[in-house]
A and B are shown apart, each in its own frame.
Chain A
């Protein structure tokens, strides 16, 4: 399957600070991709590079097989919902739809109208008086009704209450089920994305730490607990992401290619949050010490982005 987003050696520098560096990424089409990382990791920068709001300082990025540009034909294929789902406060819901129809050649008025009806929005109401959840839904409606092939959303649910968050994701998943659209959405909370994304990109400190299909990531990462082990003695296909030892016990979080055969380990599944936090810990080189624990991070550097 072709890539909706591919980056090679991509970097963006602000003055002397790299907001994104050495980014190699190949995101296949047909996925809902969760872009996860702490605040300031470079998520917004990556998305802005993807939609052409920023130009790379290094490397290259392609979206739907082409470099992002202001060419109308390319813009029509890509939808973008910026952080905090901005709308025009003084314009009504109806005005927003008219504006969308005017500015987008492929505007699908039926889709827009149906969503506004389903959401029970009053077409004459000004966007400034809508609730946060309604505003987010309006912004999503605009991005969806242009019928893009690829939809990028920057922290769309961060400022929403749990109910509005759920409703927004329900709406987004309906769109994915209805139209063949690939989606990237970012969040600093993996819990927000756990149910909706089937592909994950973890970005920490301006670098991609791991990327892949959620099922594959969960199948290839486990927590091993057992009597104290020397990490150097592990089979070659096991990479340690996180380790902690007491005088008699070792707890490892490993990425592995083959089944764990050593019977002295108790093998536990991870959830997505454990996995993301481990990579964040590795990248952050956390120096926090827990009593009785001696965490050491970053033993094996992974060849991650495939």
Chain B
């Protein structure tokens, strides 16, 4: 069984933090198929958060095919988040490192690089939504 924690200063919504922590636990092998997630009641009693927040996170994970709800019993891991996405990390990291090196050569300092990344990331996310 995993235990959630919330970082109230991260700027990431509590529901997304739960989703991310389950995904991370799957990636790291802390959770595997068939294992149970904490019940909604257990999570709210521990974190003092709204039950709907937990339900929303679990629904999102269900939608992603990672967990399944068994009515009256609980929520169980049904999927894996292993090799496929992790395998892609290496080449993507290399691309990114090359890009960062290029940005430095172009004279950008760390802050400018971060700002550029963030605005590009945001505009591409918005473009996907729109």
B53 adjacent to A198 (CB under 8 Å): yes
Q: Which one of A31, A169, A263, A271 lies within 8 Å of B48 (CB-CB)?
A: A169
The distance in angstroms between the C-alpha atoms of A193 and B90, with both chains bound, is 42
The SS class assigned to the A binding surface is: mixed
A177 adjacent to B44 (CB under 8 Å): yes
What is the minimal beta-carbon distance from A249 to any residue of chain B, in angstroms? 16
Interface string of A256-280 (1 = CB under 8 A from B): 0001000100110101000000000
Chain B residues whose C-beta falls within 8 Å of the C-beta of A171 in the assembled complex = 45
B52 adjacent to A170 (CB under 8 Å): no
A32 with B44, Cβ < 8 A, contacts A194-B8, A259-B130, A266-B119 known: no
What is the minimal beta-carbon distance from B22 to any residue of chain A, in angstroms? 18
B6 interface residue per 8 A CB criterion: yes
B89 interface residue per 8 A CB criterion: no
B87 interface residue per 8 A CB criterion: no
Q: Which residues of B from 90 to 127 have beta carbons under 8 Å from A?
A: 119, 122-123, 126
Query: Taking CB as reference atom, which chain A residue is nearest B40?
Result: A177
The distance in angstroms between the C-alpha atoms of A47 and B30, with both chains bound, is 46
Q: Which one of B40, B46, B50, B122 lies within 8 Å of A32 (CB-CB)?
A: B50
B119 adjacent to A170 (CB under 8 Å): no
B49 adjacent to A195 (CB under 8 Å): yes
The distance in angstroms between the C-alpha atoms of A195 and B48, with both chains bound, is 7
B50 adjacent to A176 (CB under 8 Å): yes
Chain B residues whose C-beta falls within 8 Å of the C-beta of A176 in the assembled complex = 44, 50-51
B8 adjacent to A178 (CB under 8 Å): no
A-B contact pairs, 28 of them (CB 8 A): A32-B52, A166-B48, A170-B44, A170-B45, A171-B45, A173-B45, A173-B50, A174-B41, A174-B44, A174-B45, A176-B50, A176-B51, A177-B44, A177-B45, A178-B41, A194-B8, A195-B6, A195-B48, A196-B49, A196-B50, A197-B50, A198-B50, A259-B126, A259-B129, A259-B130, A263-B123, A266-B119, A269-B11
12 A-B pairs besides A170-B45, A218-B13 with CB distance below 8 A are: A31-B52, A171-B45, A173-B44, A173-B51, A174-B44, A174-B45, A176-B51, A177-B51, A194-B8, A196-B50, A263-B123, A266-B119
The chain B residues found within 8 Å of chain A, CB to CB, are: 6, 8, 11, 13-14, 40-41, 44-53, 119, 122-123, 126, 129-130
The list of the 7 closest CB pairs from A to B, nearest first, reads A173-B44, A169-B48, A177-B51, A170-B48, A177-B41, A195-B49, A174-B45
